[in-house]
Amino acid sequence: MQPNPTDPILSTNVPPIPPIHAIVARTSRLTLRPIFAEDRDAFIQMHEQSHTSFAPWSPNLPEGGYAALFDLQHERSVQGELTGIECRRVAIVTETGEMAGVFAFSNIVRGSWCSCNAGWRVNSTLQGQGICTEAMLAMLEIAFNEQPHGLGLHRVEAGVVPTNAASLRIAEKIGMRREGLAKRYLKINGTWQDHAIFAKTAEEHTPGVIEVECG
């Protein structure tokens, strides 16, 4: 069950919302930055060429296809960062400028919960090169770094369809614990599907040599 962010217990002594839009992470190969309106064409191209690998693990597309999906995600990114409930990043390959993937923290809740849900997807042309692991380790730096150089969260959770072998490996590689199975957790590809639940807390995270900027 998702927490209610208006619950007085959860909202007690909540620090000010950090300037999420200003947080940028850099790894040896990638820059993770906010989604811009100018990313529309690259986003659509990445999703169209990766459709076969994305579709089995994704909700049904909105009417309007990947163009509509971009509009939805861009709007959620802008509004989510203004309200402090989402942190979405595109990963750009530093050498080529190619969009490597999209990574997100959603349902960010402060107060006693201080947690979020994580999601990821990587361009099919770059799969098998460790890009997703590299990007998600950078995202965890953002999650656990104290404000203003991060979100200052305590727990990051991810749900993975048990037959999605690639994402199961990613969750393990980035040090998430498998906590159990949530029955009929999310509607994926038109069907309510079970999800393996993974999580990592700040105490379990070892800071890496990833540059995180603010501003």
Q: What is the per-residue burial (b if ≥16 Cβ within 10 Å, else e) of 166-204?
A: ebbebbeebebeeeeeeeebeebeeeebbbbbbbbbbee
Number of H helices, E strands in the chain: 5, 9
Mean pLDDT over each residue of the chain, to the nearest integer: 91
Answer whether CATH 3.40.630.30 is correct for domain 21-214.
Answer: yes
Note the pLDDT of residue 2: 53
Bin 111: left if φ > 0, else alpha if -120 < ψ < 50, else beta.
Answer: left
pLDDT lower than 70: segments of the chain: 1-19, 209, 214-215
Note the pLDDT of residue 165: 97
pLDDT tens per residue, range 142-181: 999 998 889 999 999 999 999 999 999 999 999 999 999 9
Bridge partners of residue 89, in order along the sequence: 103
pTM: 0.89
Domain ranges, ordered by start, for the chain: 21-214
Note the pLDDT of residue 213: 76
Note the pLDDT of residue 9: 44
Q: What is the per-residue burial (b if ≥16 Cβ within 10 Å, else e) of 80-108?
A: bbeebbbbbbbbbbeeeeebbbbbbbebb
Note the pLDDT of residue 12: 46
